[in-house]
Structure 1
Amino acid sequence: MSLASDLVAVALVTVAFRALPALARPTLPFGVRVPPARVDEPALRRERHRYARWVDEAGALGAVVVVVLALLAAPAGVRAGAVTALGAADLAFFLVASRAVGRAKRAGDWYAGTRQGVTADTSLRTDPVRVPWAVLVPAVVVLLATAAVGVLRYPELPATLPALGGTGVLPDVRVPTTAGAAFAPVVQQAVLTVLMPALVAVSLRARPELDAADPAGSAARYRVYLRGLAVLLLGSTALGNLSLAVVAALLWGLAAPGPLATAALVVPLAVAGLAWVVFAVRVGEAGHRLPGGTAPSRLVQRRLVQRDDDRHWYLAGLVYGNRADPALLVHKRIGMGWTLNLGHPVAWAVLAGLVLLAVLATTGVIDLPARGGPTLEP
């Protein structure tokens, strides 16, 4: 990576961690559930301020470190390690803040006098949000067009191809021309086009994240959230396929590496990233930022509040495990989307399968598609 890209990476990591508390649901500060009447507690304000200060200071230090490493001509791996260390430090700050909020919650007995409960909306089962298949059409069109061009171009390819890597291809690193090497971008497009709709379909059937303090309102907002999330995932698939089509054009010699090719590759991904940021700001986790997302404070004590289930969440709400919960997928406390319930046997079967696949690929028992293959001297 260049110094500019290192600094951009430091900035992105810092901004992402800085934004986590602001984007979180008010009743889930730092992954800890609190009742609506306690969302403005002084302890929460102190932790948010301290966390923000730590993240800002770490980001400034990280920028200085990558500049020094660049001046010392440190290897790219070392500079990348510095960025990774920054992310690990920011995650540690988040965990520390989460533990502090949990201690304040227990010390103040914040749930004293509240009526805890859960809510369900059967209409999300009888009339579920449908997969917006029409949004997937552009991704399929790009996939088929790229595959067709590849089939026509394949007989004319040279004996070696540039290896995949960096922002597209590595012109100075060559690999033998095989069907696997030539059609690697198309295979990646196909995998993306198949997996993303499957992810959407499973997500739409996952247990909804509703608020016992506002059953009807939270259910309506959650529907909007689900529709938007499905559209974003499938739209991002099309944009990802566009970037892979540019990679294919570079690989097949239909485009030359350079600023224009890099822009054509990066712009679709940047558009997808911007769309996700806008969605997170305007809709929020489980739709909590949509209109009507906060119950009036004078009604809080008259209603149920969402049940305190912190005992089933670990690592600041990053990991969930509850053997008594039949749900395989539960909505994450941090960010948008779902996570596995590690108390469910199927979750461990899925994880075991992934570990087995990684072991078999690492030991060479199976051959997964690689970004390149055996290299040849330029």
Structure 2
Amino acid sequence: MIAMNLATVTLITIVMAALPALSRPTLPFGVRLPAERASDPVIIAERRVYARLVVAAGVVAAALSFEVLAVVALVPVDLLLFYRAHRRVARAKQDGRWQAGHRQRVTVDTSFRTDPVRIPWRWALPALAVLLSTAALGWSRYGGLPATLPAFRGYGVDPARRVATTAPSAFEPVFLQAAITVLTLALMLVILRARPDLDAARPRGSARRYRTYLRGIAVLSLLAAACLNLGLLISALQLWGVVEPSGGWRVATYLPLAALVVGALAWERRVGSAGHRLPALPGEEREDSGVVQRDDDRHWFLAGMVYVNRRDPALLVHARIGHTWTLNLGHPVAWVIVALLVGLILLALTGVVDLPMRESAF
């Protein structure tokens, strides 16, 4: 348990320390800045202080790793440190009047509507191939399965616990693979048609980079579905008795995810959020429209994690941190979605709806 807690603390500390690097230079800690302020001494100092505080929190949590509460508390502590840096940068921006003297605009590229980035369907083939292979293998093994099966835990099985052999229990890995594949494709359809996040200072270059970025997100997401499906296939082999559950197979289950993380980090290093790290093409090096991106900090809350703008017709917008999108909570449809999710949770808590229960998916 202590070793697992230490590994968790290490992972959380690495991710949180790297969080500022996942944002664009003009959005440090979720604060919108003009490009010339991206390397301001205040920003550099806050990055250093934040990194040191996150590491210090990780060291304390590691020293107390025998207490699960210390590990659980690490994430909210790191988020509070991020919010602290956000407030300090926002205060420096306000006190220094960094936006004064700039013409603020937004840019729109209608080609994202007339010629949107499309799903790269060939990259969906690995996930579909793994799904179909697992279903075919399960179908061939189903008639010869014993009366009970080891408890399926998503990524791995628990041989000490047995459940009755039924079609739902035997084919649970296949159902999860199908859900992952369908949800990934549906999510890509929504994201690829969400409003692009372009830079008014460099409209042409940012639009090209954003297209490249979206294609990369789509490919990476489909490969993520394939890696998740492959891990579930390895779990299914143990569930159906093709191989005996062991520590080696447990490690093998996570190898596709490890490869995915390495690939995602390499992609992030080359592309960056919204494609800001991509090199400029000839003719884009000196692109300058003479304006800066409109300051919309007043619509972002919780250090750039929550967006609320009633005048914005977009339902889904690119978040200010990492490679994520978030709902515009000023949009009526967003509140319908939130209400449905809250309603489902309340029904589950009151026992009206029985949701699948599992101690750990991993």
TM-score class, shorter: over 0.9
1:89-121 C-alpha deviation (Å, 9 max, x unpaired): 111100010011111110011001001000011
1:335-362 C-alpha deviation (Å, 9 max, x unpaired): 1021100000111111111122223333
Assess if the C-alpha contact under 8 Å between 2:202 and 2:287 holds in 1: no
Distance 1:273 1:299, change over 3 A: closer
Aligned to 2:48: 49
Secondary structure (helix, strand or coil) at the match of 2:176 reads: helix
Assess if the C-alpha contact under 8 Å between 1:322 and 1:344 holds in 2: yes
1:305-345 C-alpha deviation (Å, 9 max, x unpaired): 00000000000000000000000000000010211000001
Tell me by how many angstroms 1:261 deviates: 0.8
Secondary structure (helix, strand or coil) at the match of 2:143 reads: helix
Pair 1:272-2:271 in alignment: no
1:224-255 C-alpha deviation (Å, 9 max, x unpaired): 00000000001111111000111111111111
Determine the C-alpha separation between the residues in 2 that align with 1:43 and 1:189.
47
Assess if the C-alpha contact under 8 Å between 1:184 and 1:369 holds in 2: no
1:212-227 to structure 2, matched below 5 A, reads 212-227=200-215
1:182-214 C-alpha deviation (Å, 9 max, x unpaired): 111111101001000110111000000100000
Assess if the C-alpha contact under 8 Å between 1:30 and 1:101 holds in 2: yes
Distance 1:138 1:296, change over 3 A: closer
Assess if the C-alpha contact under 8 Å between 2:201 and 2:292 holds in 1: yes
Assess if the C-alpha contact under 8 Å between 1:163 and 1:371 holds in 2: no
Aligned to 1:341: 328
Moved more, 132-141 or 317-326: 132-141
Determine the C-alpha separation between the residues in 2 that align with 1:246 and 1:289.
36
When the two structures are superposed, what TM-score results if normalisation uses the length of structure 1?
0.90
Assess if the C-alpha contact under 8 Å between 1:136 and 1:235 holds in 2: yes
Determine the C-alpha separation between the residues in 1 that align with 2:356 and 2:134.
18
1:88 to 59, 72, 76: 76
Aligned to 1:152: 140
Pair 1:197-2:185 in alignment: yes
Aligned to 1:330: 317
Assess if the C-alpha contact under 8 Å between 1:162 and 1:175 holds in 2: yes
Assess if the C-alpha contact under 8 Å between 1:51 and 1:93 holds in 2: yes
1:184 to 172, 196, 200: 172
RMSD: 2.0
Aligned to 1:304: 291
Distance 1:242 1:296, change over 3 A: closer
Q: Which runs of 5+ in 1 are unaligned?
A: 70-77, 373-378
Moved more, 354-363 or 137-146: 354-363
Secondary structure (helix, strand or coil) at the match of 2:208 reads: helix
AA paired with 2:48? H
Secondary structure (helix, strand or coil) at the match of 1:163 reads: strand
Aligned to 1:59: 58
Aligned to 1:34: 33
Determine the C-alpha separation between the residues in 2 that align with 1:84 and 1:275.
28
Question: Number of residues paired by the alignment?
Answer: 358
When the two structures are superposed, what TM-score results if normalisation uses the length of structure 2?
0.94
Determine the C-alpha separation between the residues in 2 that align with 1:278 and 1:49.
23
Determine the C-alpha separation between the residues in 2 that align with 1:331 and 1:323.
16
